Amino acid sequence: MIALRHLFGIAELDAEQIRYLLQLGASFVGLSRRSIRKAPTLRGKTIINLFFESSTRTRTSFEIAGKRLSADVINISSSTSATKKGESLLDTALTLAAMRPHVLVIRHALPGCCHFLAEHLRETSIVNAGDGAHEHPTQALTDLLTLQEHGGFVGKTITIVGDIAHSRVARSHLLAARKMGYRVRLVAPKTLLPRRVEQFGCEVYHDFDEAIPGSDVLYMLRIQTERLTSNCSFPSLREYHEAYGLNGRRLAAAGEQCLVMHPGPMNRGVEIASDVADSAASRILDQVEHGVAMRMAVLTALCGGGEEA
């Protein structure tokens, strides 16, 4: 049993903690497939989801995870919070913490916001649900749980394709790969790659077709147009799809064993062809399903460690 104080990122977790979270997550997968999808694990706990950026998967799965474990869950979005009236992020967080929730799940555009808030919040655990282009730890954990349930990830090669420069998911995987024993290949035009990304120990490709042989997973990313600056550009979406989109030809070249993943939201016809997204190789909806179990595991570890689970 391992109890976590906060979940800021994969950077702060060691391999033993990640293995424990994956084991706990696996134990929760079955709960969501039963006819009665409820357990008492988090009865009496209060969880606040505070989202300053849009989200379908992460926010909903944290809400369902908390409710399936009998916690009281409150959702707040930036559009309905007092930040619209000029309140700072810190004052909002201090206000919510004064209501004594056990866990605050935060998504915000500011990298490092969870570390910052944790310095001011004494008793509330904080979960990073995505902080700018920094980290998205529960997505990386969700992906590993999905792979664990579909043949494993140790020794495998995950090829991440697309807007690496703005991807908190890619960063979390680069950190997780070293700890958990899998390889990451990155594929992107130079304008969508962070500088000195090789320091993470990954292979870098600019030609998608060259990166396909030996890939066990093709992990596609959308272009984060909301974070693009003028020096991160590319000619057009059509040309982008030609060069970096996953189509049937590339999937066939990858071989029958290769899986397709995507953290969502997808832009069909841009980074992934529609028929590939819906193909037998696609684990995209499995990722969504495992996201609920993984967030149950994270909330449980934050609220005491999972002895009851």
Distance of alpha carbon 252 from alpha carbon 202, whole angstroms: 24
Shortest reach from residue 54's CB to ligand CP, in Å: 6
Task: Assess contact for 276 and 246: CB atoms under 8 A.
Answer: yes
Q: Which is nearer to ligand CP, 130 or 189 (CB)?
A: 130
Asked whether position 265 contacts ligand CP by CB under 6 A, the answer is yes
List the x/- string, 39-78, binding to ligand CP by CB under 6 A. ----------------xxxx--------------------
Q: Which is nearer to ligand CP, 97 or 292 (CB)?
A: 292
Residues numbered 128 to 167 that lie near ligand CP (CB under 6 A) are: 130, 136, 139
Q: Which helix (H) or strand (E) holds 205?
A: strand 203-205
Distance of alpha carbon 262 from alpha carbon 277, whole angstroms: 9
Q: Which helix (H) or strand (E) holds 25?
A: helix 15-29
Shortest reach from residue 288's CB to ligand CP, in Å: 9
Shortest reach from residue 154's CB to ligand CP, in Å: 23
Give the rounded distance of the alpha carbon of 135 from its chain centre. Answer: 8
Q: Which is nearer to ligand CP, 57 or 166 (CB)?
A: 57
Task: Assess contact for 21 and 294: CB atoms under 8 A.
Answer: yes
Shortest reach from residue 263's CB to ligand CP, in Å: 4
Asked whether position 225 contacts ligand CP by CB under 6 A, the answer is no
Asked whether position 6 contacts ligand CP by CB under 6 A, the answer is no
Sign of dihedral through CA atoms 7, 53, 171, 93?
negative
Task: Assess contact for 130 and 112: CB atoms under 8 A.
Answer: no
Q: Which is nearer to ligand CP, 97 or 163 (CB)?
A: 163
Shortest reach from residue 168's CB to ligand CP, in Å: 8
Asked whether position 290 contacts ligand CP by CB under 6 A, the answer is no
Distance of alpha carbon 85 from alpha carbon 182, whole angstroms: 46
Asked whether position 215 contacts ligand CP by CB under 6 A, the answer is no
Tell me how far CA of residue 193 lies from CA of 94, 109, 295, in angstroms. Answer: 36, 19, 29
Judged by the rule CB under 6 A, the positions of this chain that interact with ligand CP are 55-58, 130, 136, 139, 263-265
